[in-house]
Amino acid sequence: MNIGQLIRRGETCWEIPPTAAMRVPAVIYADEGLIRAMDPKVYEQITNVATLPGIVEAAYAMPDAHWGYGFPIGGVAAFDPDQGGVISAGGVGFDISCGVRTLHTGLTMDRLESDPHRLADELYRAIPAGVGSRGKIHLNPHEMTAMLTGGARWAIDRGFGEAADLERIEERGCMAGADPAQVSARARERQREEMGTLGSGNHYLEVQRVVEIYHRPVAEKFGLRTDGIVITIHCGSRGLGHQIGTEFLKEMAMAAAQYKIALPDRELACAPIRSPLGRRYLGAMRAAINCALANRQILTHLTQKAVDTVFPGVRLELLYDVSHNTCKVEHYTVNGRKKELYIHRKGATRAYGPGHPDLPEAFREVGQPVLIGGSMGTSSYVLCGTEKGANRAFSSACHGAGRAMSRHQAAKQWRGRELVDELARQGIIIRSPSLRGIAEEAPLAYKDAGAVVGAADKAGLAHKIARLEPVICIKG
């Protein structure tokens, strides 16, 4: 990105003042190195977001921002329905509620080291992964509707996990306002056999070792100790979410003129929040959020069974579950007035600070766990939300390292087999149905996660708590 286009507001804060059709400034949080390496498309996309009706304060880009569909991945924007604010299918993305959950195992590295390959094999057998993977759960129409309404709560009611898990999931495992009637027959059909599957692309299940603690008191609240073993699952709403995104993007793009919305980019397709189309999309999107929450809950159950085979009696406990691609109703003070806003997070994580009433009691004193995924061969991080974050980007933080190059470029540069062998030499066991998929997700195809997390920390979006390194990765 051309740094000369930006006004520096701090060590990790850069502003693009409003010009032309921009209604608000655009703000990018990143250090100078990340800004210089950032895709120039982020500038174009985040300034386009700033033109949308009803946007509040600014359009924000997180330190992991890169080119996405309409919104940049790592984009955050809030819209006020009282000011004609919009809901954008492009601002949520195709993999609705793609997210991460991290599970405590109670194991330590010395015990895992006795037979890591057996655990890798059991997990790979238990977790359907890859393009078009199918699970063993087949939903009839009644159960599909129940799942879309109930989310993780539906899954737990059917024996996939423990009720205590719900306290550790955003929205307590069930997104209110879901309207399964707005989910098409095609979307339902795509999901009918995909519950409890990991998917492909950047989705993964990773066994990780806690290698570094940055803030011991909060780490203890989160149950994280050096050399402890955790398991992290990254996936979303599979075919159903993608189908909903596809259908509503098309419909919103066609309806934009009807609502007198001038789209700077067709991929920013949107509709007024209070319009019939806006309400229909919100109902469908919330149903897809529930699908993703149910899917991660079922995957947790399958993971538990695999772990129990290798380490009988070991019980997994949920640290937290966060979603990335969502639009949620939240309350913030804007110009001295409490407002109900629709917060779009596209490849960004909600990061509530200490004292927020929506946090479970266990975290209310310290803030929300913010789970930052690595890239198969690199570190992941656990952060916590801050009080300042509410005034920086509507309580939002980065969600991962962020791509540094496209999948096509990565596949040209690396070979999957060579990466698997190289990672094995580093002590990281990879299991995947696709060598091409591994090449596309090569660790060096992503930005330096440490730099991204460091910038988020310095910007006050979220604070570093612990660093995790991969031991086993089941890659979709």
Catalytic residues: 399
Q: Answer yes or no: is 325 a known binding residue.
A: yes
Q: Answer yes or no: is 203 a known binding residue.
A: yes
| Structural contact between residues 72 and 65, judged by C-beta atoms closer than 8 angstroms | yes
- DSSP H or E segment with residue 277: helix 276-310
Q: Answer yes or no: is 375 a known binding residue.
A: yes
Backbone angle region of 52, left / alpha / beta, with phi > 0 → left and psi within -120 to 50 → alpha: beta
Q: Answer yes or no: is 204 a known binding residue.
A: yes
| Structural contact between residues 380 and 373, judged by C-beta atoms closer than 8 angstroms | yes
DSSP per-residue letters across 197-260: ---STT-EEEEEEEEEES-HHHHHHTT--TTEEEEEEEE--HHHHHHHHHHHHHHHHHHTTTTT
| Structural contact between residues 152 and 97, judged by C-beta atoms closer than 8 angstroms | no
Place of tokens 């804007």: 334
Q: Answer yes or no: is 74 a known binding residue.
A: no
Place of tokens 């940055």: 214
| Structural contact between residues 139 and 191, judged by C-beta atoms closer than 8 angstroms | yes
Instruction: Centre a 10 Å sphere on the Cβ of residue 117 and count the other Cβ atoms it contains.
Output: 10
Q: Answer yes or no: is 205 a known binding residue.
A: yes
**Rounded to whole angstroms, what are the CA distances from 452 to 37, 139, 143, 161, 232?**
12, 40, 41, 33, 19
φ, ψ (nearest 5 deg) of residue 257:
-60, -40
| Structural contact between residues 368 and 320, judged by C-beta atoms closer than 8 angstroms | yes
Q: How far apart are CA 219 and CA 375, in angstroms?
A: 22
Place of tokens 């919305």: 261
Q: Answer yes or no: is 399 a known binding residue.
A: yes
Q: Answer yes or no: is 206 a known binding residue.
A: yes
Q: Answer yes or no: is 374 a known binding residue.
A: yes
Q: Answer yes or no: is 401 a known binding residue.
A: yes
HSE at residue 474, side-chain half, CA atoms within 13 A, is 28
Q: Answer yes or no: is 95 a known binding residue.
A: yes
Q: Answer yes or no: is 380 a known binding residue.
A: yes
Place of tokens 């737990």: 156
Q: Answer yes or no: is 460 a known binding residue.
A: no
| Residues 290, 266, 412: CA angle, nearest 5 degrees | 80
| Structural contact between residues 458 and 415, judged by C-beta atoms closer than 8 angstroms | no
Q: How far apart are CA 79 and CA 273, in angstroms?
A: 9
Q: Answer yes or no: is 373 a known binding residue.
A: yes
| Structural contact between residues 344 and 76, judged by C-beta atoms closer than 8 angstroms | yes
Q: Answer yes or no: is 400 a known binding residue.
A: yes
Q: Residues annotated as binding site for GMP? A: 202-206, 324-325, 373-376, 380, 399-402, 475
Annotated binding site: 95, 202-206, 234, 324-325, 373-376, 380, 399-402, 475
Per the annotation, where are the binding residues for Mn(2+)? 95, 203, 234, 324
